[in-house]
Structure 1
Amino acid sequence: MKATVAGTVIAEAPQEDLIKIEGNWYFPPESVVTSLLEESPTPYTCPWKGPCQYFTVNVDGKSLPDRAWTYRNLYDGAVQRVGQDFTNYVAFWKEVQVSE
């Protein structure tokens, strides 16, 4: 599967390596082009996953704030709830298209 913005691939991995949580595909950290992501100051804490780190996606001179996120320090029980460890996996939304 691929995550793209205007034709630029920002993550790519076989579907079996991704984890689907609450309708979002989470890509393994090694599949993400981290040079296109910049940490965002936007705060958020999921009540069951833990503190979230948002990223601005930077592609072709466009900055798309908070279009990617990860969980670096999962709360107790989060892995059990999902059935897999998704620490540092990255999900995307809005202008970032995720497709096969």
Structure 2
Amino acid sequence: MMQATWKGQLLAQSDRTVVVEGNHYFPPESIRPEYFKASETTTFCGWKGDCKYYHLSVDGQTNPDAAWYYPEPYPRAEHIKGHLAFWKGVEVKEQ
């Protein structure tokens, strides 16, 4: 079971993450939505497509653009559609 935590709060937990380029992508139903706020930030990956971000908010502290996902990935990345990955101090580890 993989868990993503930040500031002591569990953000996501799943035994069905997908690993791409060393990042665990969590299925959308595994996240705790109360910690996620949509960001205006977008980026582009040449083989995955357009990427969107979430800010994380825990106990009044914000971690900007600390989670990302591909809402409509290219066919080669279809297996991570809507899944979320983390960075910027979010701890992702097996429990």
Could you tell me which residue of structure 2 aligns to residue 70 of structure 1? 69
What letter corresponds to residue 12 of structure 2 in structure 1? A
Could you tell me which residue of structure 2 aligns to residue 38 of structure 1? 37
The answer to whether residue 86 in structure 2 is matched with residue 87 in structure 1 is no
Could you tell me which residue of structure 1 aligns to residue 10 of structure 2? 9
Alignment of 1:52-67 (within 5 A): 52-67=51-66
- C-alpha displacement of 1:77: 2.7
Aligned to 1:94, the other structure's residue is in SS state: coil
- C-alpha displacement of 1:76: 2.8
- C-alpha displacement of 1:89: 0.4
Moved over 6 A (4+): none
Could you tell me which residue of structure 1 aligns to residue 27 of structure 2? 28
Aligned length, in residue pairs: 93
Maintained 8 Å contact 2:63/2:88:
no
Deviates more, 1:69-78 or 1:89-98: 69-78
What letter corresponds to residue 32 of structure 1 in structure 2? I
Maintained 8 Å contact 2:13/2:26:
yes
Q: CA RMSD in A?
A: 1.0
What letter corresponds to residue 89 of structure 2 in structure 1? E
The answer to whether residue 90 in structure 2 is matched with residue 96 in structure 1 is yes
Give structure 2 stretches of 5+ with no counterpart.
Answer: none
- C-alpha displacement of 1:43: 1.9
What letter corresponds to residue 4 of structure 1 in structure 2? T
When normalised by structure 1's length, the TM-score is 0.88
